[in-house]
Copies of this chain bind each other. A is one copy, B any other.
Amino acid sequence: MNEERVLATYLIETPYSLEYAAAVMAGEQSTGTFVAVPGETAFIKETYGAKVVRITELEPALTPSLPGVKPPKEEANLVFRRGEVVLSFPYHNFGPSIPNLLATVAGNLYELREFSGLRLIDLEVPVQFTEKYLGPQFGIEGTRRLTAVNGRPLIGTIVKPSIGLALDDLRGLVRELALAGIDFIKDDELNGNPPYVPLKDRVKAVMEEIERAADKTGKKVMYAFNITGDIDELRENHDAVVKAGGNCVMVGINSIGFAGVSYLRQFAEVPIHGHRNQWGAMTRCPALGMEFRVYQKLSRLAGVDHLHTNGLNNKFFESNESVTRSVQDCLTPMFRGNDTVMPVLSSGQWAGTAIESYRSMKTVDVLHLAGGGIMAHPGGVAAGVTSMKQGWEAALGGQSLAEYAMTHAELAQAIEKFGRP
């Protein structure tokens, strides 16, 4: 790791030579502009200029992936060259600041007309950069400590319907889930602080139910309250959760920005559950935006403890390979010894996805969320929770789903309801 420079890796597509295109990126994002200016001395270029570290040529394309590219005049049969380019930026151009780093590594360069594709795929920052940011406070170990769950994934759910549940119905649902032995419950990302049931009323009702159930079962459910809101509200909402005995807060990372997350991290007393809604807009076009590898690094630096990764066979566009890679990224130490975060498997999950998840991810350090997969279980919510645990028992015991279901009714019911044809 270079201590003085940030390394940014891109996939690019351009009708120019890869060398020329990489030089344009380096110039635009450091000392250059569209014409030479008198003050851009050799000293400034050498001291503050970005450098092209490596270019790896890939298979070219015959049509541009993005509109607005301006090809060089001389060429008749255009080829859009593709390559992986590593640039290095002097750390002293921006210092330890995610917001200012973003303007450099992910700023105007997306708009450059020399490119028909530009995607940030990896990022490495010096240790001195990371010292400004607190990183995950609880992470996997702290989450396990708070929930007393070891040797298996945390099983969780998302309150459904996402929106509109009356307070009494929410109470009943939380009570049922807590008594059924669920580890974790979260609000939906759509449910923040709506006028029809303000967050503070939800916190009070939910925590009463959780404490009451804990008195009976000896197990206190972790509940991630969606405290997403404007900056001032983050502290107010966080404090309301903590004061009521709550043990987790959730935020939409893209709704409050990395700046909002690192602000929250400074005073957070409980784990921060990072939801990534809006992420699709940043990543679904393969020639634009950024890879999850970069996103999860920035989210971890800013201080989330849990991070959504999708689950296998999800209801979204993402492939299973991509989900598995995301999980592995979250579990890879980055800077400090213990800065991994708990990947959150979610979307279209049910008991049957446990075996496949364990086979491809090879870890129990995940938070496995089933919304419909628990709520819509034919035997009811408690049976839904039990079926999820059974799915993981089968996975960890090396048994097939069908085999384990023969002696476990809730799992059998889940297969009948959710099993794919």
Contact = CB atoms under 8 A, between A and B. Distances in A.
A99 interface: yes
A244 B182 CA distance: 57
A232 B231 CA distance: 11
A108 B190 CA distance: 10
Q: Is the interface of A mostly helix, strand, loop or mixed?
A: loop
Contact of A163 (B31, B262, B316): B31
A317 B37 contact: no
A371 B318 contact: no
B111 A29 contact: no
Nearest to A172: B39
Contact of A31 (B161, B195, B285): B161
Interface string A276-316: 01111110111111100000000000000000001000011
Given A44-B164, A281-B289, A68 B317 contact: yes
Interface stretch (A78-86, A251-259, A359-367): A251-259
A30 B196 CA distance: 14
Nearest to A47: B164
Most buried by B among A95, A110, A112: A110
Contacts of A111: 279-280, 284, 310, 316-318
Given A66-B317, A263-B232, A288-B281, A193 B110 contact: no
Interface string A186-230: 000110111110000000000000000000000000000000111
Contact of A192 (B69, B99, B158, B257): B99
Given A31-B161, A285-B285, A189 B107 contact: yes
A348 B98 CA distance: 27
A274 interface: no
B277 A108 contact: yes
Nearest to A252: B103
Contacts of A40: 160-161
Nearest to A116: B317
A137 interface: no
Nearest to A374: B37
A93 B190 contact: yes
Given A95-B195, A161-B48, A190 B103 contact: yes
B103 A230 contact: no
Contacts of A109: 280
Interface residues of A, number: 100
Nearest to A28: B315
A233 B94 CA distance: 14
A106 interface: yes
A32 interface: yes
Contacts of A44: 161, 164-165
B92 A196 contact: yes
A102 interface: yes
A260 B162 CA distance: 27
Given A173-B39, A230-B262, A107 B190 contact: yes
Nearest to A373: B35
Contacts of A173: 39
A289 B233 CA distance: 27
A15 interface: no
Nearest to A159: B39
B281 A376 contact: no
A367 B296 CA distance: 37
Contacts of A95: 192-195
A113 interface: yes
Contacts of A233: 97
| Nearest 3 Cβ contacts at the A-B interface | A68-B317, A257-B257, A110-B280
21 contacts: A30-B163, A31-B164, A33-B161, A33-B371, A34-B372, A35-B372, A39-B160, A39-B169, A44-B165, A48-B161, A66-B284, A94-B194, A95-B192, A99-B256, A99-B260, A100-B193, A102-B255, A103-B189, A103-B252, A103-B275, A231-B231
